[in-house]
Homo-oligomer: A and B are copies of this chain.
Amino acid sequence: MTGREAAEAEDRGTAWRRIADELESAIGRGDYAVGDTLPASIALAERYGVHRHTVRQAFRHLAEQGLVTVSRGRGTQVSARRVPYPIGRRVSMRANFRKVGITGSSAMLSAAAVTGDAEICAMLGLKAGARLWRVEGLSLADGTPMGTGTHWLSVERFADFDRAFHEAGASMTAALKVYGIEDYVRLSTRLTARLASEREAMLLKIEPGAAVMVSSAIDALPDLTPIHLVDSVFAGERVEMVVEPFAE
Contact = CB atoms under 8 A, between A and B. Distances in A.
Interface string A219-235: 00000100000000010
A64 B200 CA distance: 10
A175 to B, nearest CB: 15
A65 to B, nearest CB: 8
Interface in A1-29: 1-3, 6-7, 9-10, 21, 24-25, 28
Which has the most chain B C-beta neighbours within 10 Å: A89, A111, A191? A191
A7 B113 CA distance: 6
A213 interface: yes
B3 A131 contact: yes
A195 interface: yes
Interface stretch (A40-48, A70-78, A98-106, A114-122): A114-122
Interface residues of A, number: 63
A214 B64 CA distance: 10
A246 B118 CA distance: 25
Contacts of A131: 3
Nearest to A64: B197
Interface in A190-248: 190-195, 197, 209-214, 224, 234, 236-237, 239-248
Contacts of A187: 244, 246
Given A1-B162, A211-B212, A7 B112 contact: yes
Contacts of A162: 1, 6
Given A185-B246, A211-B212, A246-B185, A111 B1 contact: yes
A101 to B, nearest CB: 18
Contacts of A9: 112
Interface string A32-74: 0000000000000000000000000000100011100000000
Contacts of A242: 188-191
Interface string A124-167: 00000001000000000000000000000001000000100000
17 contacts: A2-B113, A3-B155, A7-B113, A21-B117, A25-B117, A60-B197, A64-B194, A65-B214, A186-B245, A187-B244, A192-B240, A193-B213, A193-B234, A194-B236, A195-B210, A211-B236, A243-B243
By Cβ-Cβ distance, the 8 closest A-B pairs, closest first, are A193-B236, A193-B193, A3-B113, A6-B113, A6-B112, A193-B213, A193-B211, A211-B211
